[in-house]
Amino acid sequence: MDHRLKEEKYRQLLPQLASVIQAESDSIANMANISACLKETFDFWWVGFYRVLAHGDSKELVLGPFQGPLACTRIKYGRGVCGTAWKERRTVIVPDVELFPGHIACSSASRSEIVVPILQEDEVVAVLDIDSRFLNTFDEVDRLYLEKLAGMIRL
């Protein structure tokens, strides 16, 4: 997608998502609508959330609201792109998933990916994961606006 068109779409979408989030206190409902709006706006392959939840004595990422095909349900700390974004507490952009060591392939159609951590009181509480069926889909524009969006989400 053209760089400026993409930026324009994010500029229009973010205030709409801010209203959605302000109008509803339930985070599952909000993550569901955010997934739907991102998928509809950009025709991404898969958009969804994984929440950091307790698992015995440790924690792992557990699948939350999403749009797209069936996905793996649990991801361990440091594993795959999602577990890496959680561990390193930073957005991870993967231009070609085949070149990312340890990438977890939920769908063979996915070619590139971005994962943005959602922090609360300095802890990663969830990640927003977006997959594209094209190589090199995500860049600094996506990072900028998706990090702004992540900053609005309260779990």
Smaller CB distance to ligand SME: residue 38 or 106? 106
Q: For residues 6-45, which are near ligand SME according to CB under 6 A?
A: none
Give the list of residues 6+ apart from residue 150 with CB closer than 8 angstroms, or none.
116, 117, 118, 119, 128
**CA nearest 136: which of 97, 104, 109, 103?**
97
56-95 mask for ligand SME (x: CB under 6 A)? Answer: ---------------xx--x----xxx-------------
Residue 51 sits in the site that holds ligand SME (CB under 6 A): no
Q: Which residues pair with residue 120 across a beta bridge? A: 123
Q: What is the smallest separation between the CB atom of 59 and ligand SME, expressed in angstroms?
A: 15
Smaller CB distance to ligand SME: residue 18 or 134? 134
> Residue 24's Cα: distance from chain center in Å?
20
From CA 73, how far away is CA 91, in angstroms rounded?
21
Residue 47 sits in the site that holds ligand SME (CB under 6 A): no
Give the list of residues 6+ apart from residue 153 with CB closer than 8 angstroms, or none.
21, 27, 30, 31, 34, 118, 126, 128
Smaller CB distance to ligand SME: residue 7 or 104? 104
Residues forming the site for ligand SME (CB under 6 A) = 46, 71-72, 75, 80-82, 103-104, 106, 110, 113, 129, 131
